[in-house]
Each structure stands twice: as structure tokens, then as C-alpha cells.
Structure 1
Amino acid sequence: MVLCSTCNVSILVSQKRIKCTNGTCFLLYHIDCVNYNDNSGTSRSKWICLAFTAIRPSEGNTNTSLPTKNRKENSPDNLPQPSSEQNIKYQNVILNEIRNLRMEMKEHFDNQQECLHKFNSTLSQVQRDVKELGTGSLKNEVDKISKSMQFFSYAHDAQTIINEKTEKTLSNILTENNNMRVYINDLNTKMSQLEQQARDCNVEIQCVSEHKNENLITEINKFHMMIAGYSGQHKGYFLLRENISHL
């Protein structure tokens, strides 16, 4: 576990950190603990912790406040020299941090691999479903719809032909009806003319018996007198009378 040299709290992988670039130090700090600012003139690759800032104040860390007291304690004669055990300790800390980082990365990659495997399985299943739909029921439904549409197309064409024939038949019937109307009008005109001619040729018959008790001989004599008069043409009269007498 990596500890901050200022607050002695562990530095997580997700937290921002900064390391002293002095060749014998290698101490780690929270960026917030040392008030480091990226906008300052000192880069992270040249940052030196407070323990070595007093030695080279002109080379960096303009954004890190320098201690104003106990200057004598920070003189080169009083600076503690890091031991080999301390270097080994820091190296082990760095190695542990690298191992933890590798474990986290491996876990993250394993999760990604598992998600990718699930995605591939789901995609394969979807492809199989689509293929089954394309070769199975969906294709049959599409074929049925296509046949139905073709049937409706043929029925529509046949109905169109029937409608055209019906229109022609109705047109012929209307023409014949008009001709028949003209012919009937002509017949009515001729009938009217014939009736008029028949009225002109009517003969009024008089002296015809209207009752059963009337004498038929007397009525015939009256009829003969109306037709022949007394012109001496009695031959027809006697013949008619004789014939009637035999009845």
C-alpha cells in the first residue's frame, strides 16, 4: 500500500499523485497535500519534494511553499541520507502498486472479455433467429402475401375487363332504347293518323233495333227505305226480307 509522505494516508490508484524526482528520494505525495498546480512553471518530471527544495531553490517548485523556519535543519549538512533499506522499501512499494495496477487492469480486461463473449453469443443468437425467420415462417408469410397480392391483381384485371364490357353493353342498350323510343313515337303517330282516317270513314247506321220487343221486319224495312228509298229497287228488299223470314 502506497502512503503519502505528508498525510500518511494511502494513495489510491484513482487518486492523483506526484513523486519527487530526486534520485535518492522517490517519495510519493497527494497532489492536494503539496498544493501542486499544473499551470505553474515546474513540470511533474522536475518536481522536488520539500526536503530537497532548500538545496536547489532555483531549479523548481515555485508552486510549493518553502519553510521559513529552521533553515539550519534543511542545510546540506543536516539532510538525512536515504538508506538502501529505504530504497528497497520504496521499490517494493512501487512494485506492489504496479502489481495492483496490473491486477486491476487484468480484472477490467477480463470483464471486457466476458462482456464481449456475451455480446458475441447474443449476436450469434440474433443472427440465427434472423436466418430462421428468413427461411421459415416469415418467408412463408411473405410468400402467402405475394400470392394474395397476385390474386388480387388478377381479380382486379378481370373485374376491369368485366366493367368495360358492361359499359359497352349499357351503351348499346341506351342506343337501342333511344331507337326504340323513336320507333314507338313513329308508331304512335301512325296510329293517330289511322284513327283519324278511321273516324273519317265511319258510317252511321240507323234503324237498328235497340230492344228485344221491336219488330225486326219493320226495322229492316226502315233500313231499306233509308238506303234505297222508293226508287223501285225492291228486289233487294224482298230478297233481304225473304232471307230474314227464313231465319
Structure 2
Amino acid sequence: MSTYSKDEIIKKLEVAESEMWKFYSQDFVNYRGKTSDKERDYYTEIIAKWLLDNIELFNDIKMISRESSYKVDSHDGKIKNEKSEREEEIIAMKLFDFSQNQGKVFDIIGKIIDYQTPLKNVRADKAGKIDLLAYNEEEKTLRILELKKPDSEETMLRCVLEAYTYLKVVDKDKLLKDFGLPKNTKIKACPFVFYSGEQHQEMKEIKDSRKNLGELIEKLGIEVIYLEEKDEEYSVVI
């Protein structure tokens, strides 16, 4: 990958700011290296600091009110194609199956209540799908989980921004209603990453070389959740 200076990165950010709904998917959000300047800052640290300084831009992400139900009746957790290369989707379906068909209640997040939850109202809408929804009944908290596969090379910044974008896009009142959850349910945006993965390594540096990322996570009210898999059994790391 080419190397960029801090100024070059900021120019990219200023171009992208007009479409905040897709900011998380911009290539530069996944740049893993350091700037060519003598400071050698991580690209993601430059971006996180710029976002902290321009936090009001997130208000440009508009809610999409979905007329159809967020709850899709055909979601049964049954994997139709075991050989599918969509690894994250398969993991999501397995987690849903563990909760819905085998009664598993995960630590912290509670029960998985849906996967691939649609955000679009009409086909032309610019929105993805929520990987997983999990409800902790004791805490009355619904978590929007942005799942990443074990060997994902996406940056933690990308995970944070994607989860937060979905939180902004979803019609929260309707989401709760469609899943029969109490109106006073808290909704959180959560990167859901593997404990052994690249993203967890980044989080270990949060107090040292990734302070801006840490501040952004705190400012946006993001909760990072770690997942582990052992002998085809999944658990949330406490």
C-alpha cells in the first residue's frame, strides 16, 4: 500500500464527509499503516482525532424508517449452504441457532434474537444489514452487534463506525416494537470481534498508541464485545 502524509489523509476525510452514511466503508478507514510524516501516527488515529473534532458530522446520518417489519419470519438459523464463503453470515446463523433453538444465553449480550436484520425501507436506500441483534433481559439492553470473522483484517475503527452508523440509521422505536421489546430498552452499538483477532490487538494499545480510537469509542458510547470459539462452541469473553 502507498504511504500517505497526515495532510493527504485529512484531504480524503474532507472529501468523504459529505456522505457520512458510508464513511465507515471508505478505503482509508481500513488503512493499517502509519503516516509518512516524521510523527509516524497510525492512519486510524488521524481519522479518529478528526472525527472527534468534527463529531457533529454524525448528525448527517439520517434514520431510515422501515415500513416492513425488522423481524424477518424466514430467519430460522438453518444454514442452507455449508460451503458458502460468507463466513461471518454463517457464524451469525450458528450463534442465532445456539440461542433460539438450543436455548443458549450468552454472557453480557444475553440471547441472540436475529441475524442479518434489514435496514432498508426500499431497495434504493443506502444501508446494509445488522449482523446480529442480542437482547439481555436482565439489563433490558438490545445490542446491535457488528460481527467480524476471526481472521478479519478490518480495523477496529471500521468496526466501530459501521456499528454506530447502523445505530443511527435504524428506527429504534420500531425496532423495539417489531421484536416485542419494552419501550425503555437501551440500544447499544457493539463491534463483536474475536478475542484472538487483529481488532483485539488494537484494543490492547488503546492507552498507549491508540488513544484517539479509545476516546472516539467512549464519545460514541460504543461497547466492544469479544467472542471466542472452542471446539465449535462459541462464548463471549468476560
TM-score bin, normalised by smaller chain: under 0.3
Q: Which has the larger radius of gyration?
A: 1
Which structure would you say has the larger RCO, counting Cα contacts within 8 Å and 6 or more residues apart? 2
The structure with more strand, counted as a fraction of residues:
2
The structure with more helix, counted as a fraction of residues:
1
Normalised TM-score (structure 2): 0.15
